[in-house]
Chains A and B, each alone.
Chain A
Amino acid sequence: MNRLKNPLVCSLVFVVILLAVFRFESAVLDRLVPLDQSVKVNWIYSHAGTFDYAFVGSSAAYAGIDGKALSDTLGGSVINLGLDGTAHPEQYMVLAAFLESNDVGTIILQVDAWGLDENAYGYPFHEYLHLPYLDKPVVAEVVAERRGGRLAAWKYVPFLKYAEFNTQIGVPNIVHVIGGRQPEFDVYGSSLRNQAFNQAGFEALAAADDHHSYAWSTMRAEYFERMLELARNRGIPVIVYLTPEYHGVLQYSPWRHQVVSYYRETVTAAGQTFLSYDNDPLCRDRLNFYNTSHLNRDGAGRFAPLLAHDVLAAVRRD
């Protein structure tokens, strides 16, 4: 104990003990956080199996894919990897990590006309949800691409990642596990909503002054193309569908045609199938939507046979 009277030794010993404690807690949380299956990302990463169809996309896929109806109609196993509030970088990361431990027959990518717009749709990169999975090479790669040098800090400074995002991951997950929080999504990974059309939101959108500015994100487009490349490298066919939107809103998206053209041309050039439902009666009835760009439960139920029909046709053609 006498050596502890030396300030330098004393400080060093304290720091070493502190780092060890942080390292231990970090290791414990690395094991505990994935147990919180109410978090969609944890649920996705926990899978290791075979799926005939994997749906990938943003909230429009998360809330608009009726897994049961599609599974019945397609006659195969379905998983919905759609994540709320995400853009292509995060979708690419999740898909690539998922494919590391799962076999997928067909990938069905959901895209939308606003997904490449950095102006109106910030789509923050939810790095904190993926930090417990930094040992997966693709997760580390994409996090490094999006967050640069901070990856090293999160990876090598014990507990830093859990401290920085402690309101989102770490203790909250443990509370969820202990409290037995149920996920908001079903066994297919979908979260169908029983909501009526948000008329006020539609009117606000219609009344907005600026419908023209669209900040094209080259970075997001690159990640979309990487998803196509990933599937091609693994020999998995890809079907890309443009999410159904309430037709009344299309007039306020003057840039839409250009964005859809980009998706159509990129997908076709990659030798894959592109589907659009813009002219389908489904999009003319606001009762199918809970807002202008998201199907509700009824809409998802009506959309499922349409999509299944086209998917089956594309699969047979291939």
Chain B
Amino acid sequence: MLFNSLHFAVFLPCVVVIYFATPGRWRWMWLLAASYYFYACWKVEYLALIVVSTLVDYVVARCMARAVAGRRTFLLCLSLAVNLGLLFAFKYFNFVNASVRAAFGHFDLTYSVPALDVLLPVGISFYTFQKLSYTIDVYRGKREPEMHLGIFALYVAYFPQLIAGPIERSTSLLPQLRVVQNFDFDRLKTGLVLVLWGFFQKLVIADRMAMVVDHVYTDPQQTGGAVLLIGTYAFAFQIYCDFAGYSNIAIGTAKIMGIDLMQNFRQPYYARSIPEFWRRWHISLSTWFRDYVYIPLGGSRVRKLRLHINLLLVFAVSAIWHGAHWKFLVWGLLHGLYMVFGGLTAGWRHRCAAAVGLDRLPRLQRVLGVVITFNLVCLAWIFFRANSISDAASIVCNIFQMEGLGTVAECLTRPGRLNEVFGLSRTHLVAIAAGLAILELGHLLQMCDRLQLRALAAPTCLRWLAYIILILVIANFGIFQNPRQFIYFQF
């Protein structure tokens, strides 16, 4: 069931109304049933997978609480083996198998392990990591094991964030699931505004940008550098609005039911450096890797060489988490290299800035930082979006050759050319421009507390006017035909 489907438009109000109509102590049952139904809408067979792995972690965590040190480690390893084993079987086996077969083939050796004919269970990477954080927290003694199987199952399968996060921590979500929430009109309004904003990001911007990106990336070898550059910028906004849109719908939906999920994005393209970008992009995953991989490896309290290796390792693992393909690994390692290179050249860059007098112009320095970071991120996005590493390499080459500027200029004067080159009509172009302007207005509002307070204190009629305009923009410019799946559903 997609958030941007009629099915969900009927499902959500039903769930919310029945949720608040149900006596507090039974609500978990209703939410769990709704969450399992939500998941079963994709493929009912995979419900068994989530149920079994939930049971394993529930039992393991309870046994862990009573166990002595050595046995606790064994139980943690058991949980890791089950969770990561399932993830490996469904997500990585075929990739590893194909890679090994290719390597064997290279040396003319026979290799006869067949590929698994399985479909990747939607959301498996997300709920696996959510469960792992719980088991590790219990192992570390950071929290007691959850005794209520139903509440724990709901923690794993809570439908707003089941498919693509935010990856919640047990310390935050589990206690909230235990509290009986009363209906709160203000929370409903806040939640609905977030849902609306999410739909705007997804339907108006992301899905329209997808048209440009799909068109441009279809045949990159034959496409000019300038066109590819615009296509890559479009992808940067597509993936951001797609994923942030999903997160906002998830956070808003949960908020309506009285549950606060963690913020997943904070205007990431305003980051002035790559480390800052990762503090603003997919925050729930970045902090997961920080807490459960980076810090256990020693964090920043290790020697420089070790630190750099750790950084590369964390980004490599994070990349592979995204998808079983070498191109994701290149994407992740590029970010790892940015971090390492950024760390190595920090002093030199400060001296350069001082030498040219940039340190006396902090605003310009900030803008330069944002522009450079955004372009570095876009360079890495090429590997994320391209169909293969060789395609990505040719896109990078073409972009640096910067051919096709004339084609882009032609598109501005000839609408027919705009359609040929970018797959867009003039209406789409108008919608994209208007959409990006509203998006930036939203960002401004989110970044400036003073503006936010003024907006909240604005008369009801003004706030309603803003909501109605947003709804009208979605109704007029959102893409409703053949709804597209959210990009992160594939992970």
A residues with a Cβ closer than 8 A to B are 1, 4, 7, 10, 14, 17-18, 21-22, 25, 159, 162-167, 170-172, 175, 179
Interface pair A17/B468, CB less than 8 Å apart: yes
Residues of A within 8 A of B415 (CB): 179
Residues of A within 8 A of B427 (CB): 167, 171-172, 175
Residue ID in chain A nearest B459 by CB atoms: A1
* Complex partner residue of A1 from B426, B460, B471, B472, CB under 8 angstroms: B460
* Complex partner residue of A175 from B430, B460, B472, B481, CB under 8 angstroms: B430
Q: Considering the chains assembled together, what is the distance between the CA atoms of A163 and B475 in angstroms?
A: 5
Q: A167-B481, A171-B427 are in contact. List 4 more A-B contacts (CB 8 A).
A: A10-B185, A159-B475, A165-B481, A166-B478
Dominant secondary structure of chain A at its interface with chain B:
helix
Q: Considering the chains assembled together, what is the distance between the CA atoms of A298 and B467 in angstroms?
A: 56
Q: Considering the chains assembled together, what is the distance between the CA atoms of A243 and B177 in angstroms?
A: 68
Interface pair B426/A4, CB less than 8 Å apart: no
Q: Considering the chains assembled together, what is the distance between the CA atoms of A162 and B480 in angstroms?
A: 11
CB of B104 closer than 8 Å to a CB of A: no
Q: Considering the chains assembled together, what is the distance between the CA atoms of A192 and B126 in angstroms?
A: 56
CB of B111 closer than 8 Å to a CB of A: no
Q: Considering the chains assembled together, what is the distance between the CA atoms of A58 and B415 in angstroms?
A: 26
Residues of B within 8 A of A17 (CB): 464, 468
Chain B, residues 178-213, CB within 8 Å of chain A (1/0): the string is 000000010010000000000000000000000000
24 A-B contacts, Cβ less than 8 Å apart? A1-B460, A4-B460, A10-B185, A17-B464, A18-B471, A21-B468, A22-B475, A25-B472, A162-B475, A162-B476, A163-B478, A164-B480, A164-B481, A165-B481, A166-B476, A166-B478, A166-B479, A167-B481, A171-B476, A171-B477, A172-B425, A175-B426, A175-B427, A179-B426
Residues of B within 8 A of A163 (CB): 475-476, 478, 480
Residue ID in chain B nearest A14 by CB atoms: B464
Chain B, residues 408-434, CB within 8 Å of chain A (1/0): the string is 000000010000000001111011000
Q: Considering the chains assembled together, what is the distance between the CA atoms of A167 and B477 in angstroms?
A: 8
Given contacts A7-B185, A14-B464, contact A170 B425 (CB under 8 A): no
Count: A-B pairs, CB below 8 Å: 49
In angstroms, how far is the closest chain B Cβ from the Cβ of A297?
20
B residues with a Cβ closer than 8 A to A are 185, 188, 415, 425-428, 430-431, 460, 464, 467-468, 471-472, 475-481
Q: Considering the chains assembled together, what is the distance between the CA atoms of A166 and B207 in angstroms?
A: 13
A-B CB proximity, top 9 nearest? A7-B185, A163-B475, A172-B427, A175-B427, A164-B480, A171-B476, A166-B476, A175-B426, A171-B427
Q: Considering the chains assembled together, what is the distance between the CA atoms of A4 and B459 in angstroms?
A: 12
In angstroms, how far is the closest chain B Cβ from the Cβ of A171?
5
In angstroms, how far is the closest chain B Cβ from the Cβ of A224?
29
Residue ID in chain B nearest A179 by CB atoms: B426
Residues of A within 8 A of B480 (CB): 163-164, 166
In angstroms, how far is the closest chain A Cβ from the Cβ of B197?
17
Residue ID in chain A nearest B474 by CB atoms: A163
Q: Considering the chains assembled together, what is the distance between the CA atoms of A14 and B472 in angstroms?
A: 14
Interface pair B479/A167, CB less than 8 Å apart: yes
Q: Considering the chains assembled together, what is the distance between the CA atoms of A18 and B478 in angstroms?
A: 17
In angstroms, how far is the closest chain A Cβ from the Cβ of B20?
12
Interface pair A170/B481, CB less than 8 Å apart: no
Residues of B within 8 A of A25 (CB): 472
Q: Considering the chains assembled together, what is the distance between the CA atoms of A25 and B460 in angstroms?
A: 22
* Complex partner residue of B475 from A1, A14, A166, A167, CB under 8 angstroms: A166
Q: Considering the chains assembled together, what is the distance between the CA atoms of A296 and B430 in angstroms?
A: 35
Residues of B within 8 A of A22 (CB): 475
In angstroms, how far is the closest chain A Cβ from the Cβ of B109?
37
Residue ID in chain A nearest B480 by CB atoms: A164
Q: Considering the chains assembled together, what is the distance between the CA atoms of A14 and B427 in angstroms?
A: 29
In angstroms, how far is the closest chain B Cβ from the Cβ of A124?
11
Q: Considering the chains assembled together, what is the distance between the CA atoms of A22 and B468 in angstroms?
A: 10
Q: Considering the chains assembled together, what is the distance between the CA atoms of A162 and B478 in angstroms?
A: 11
Residues of B within 8 A of A166 (CB): 475-480
Q: Considering the chains assembled together, what is the distance between the CA atoms of A241 and B238 in angstroms?
A: 50
Q: Considering the chains assembled together, what is the distance between the CA atoms of A171 and B428 in angstroms?
A: 10
Residues of B within 8 A of A4 (CB): 460
In angstroms, how far is the closest chain B Cβ from the Cβ of A44?
22
Residues of A within 8 A of B481 (CB): 164-165, 167
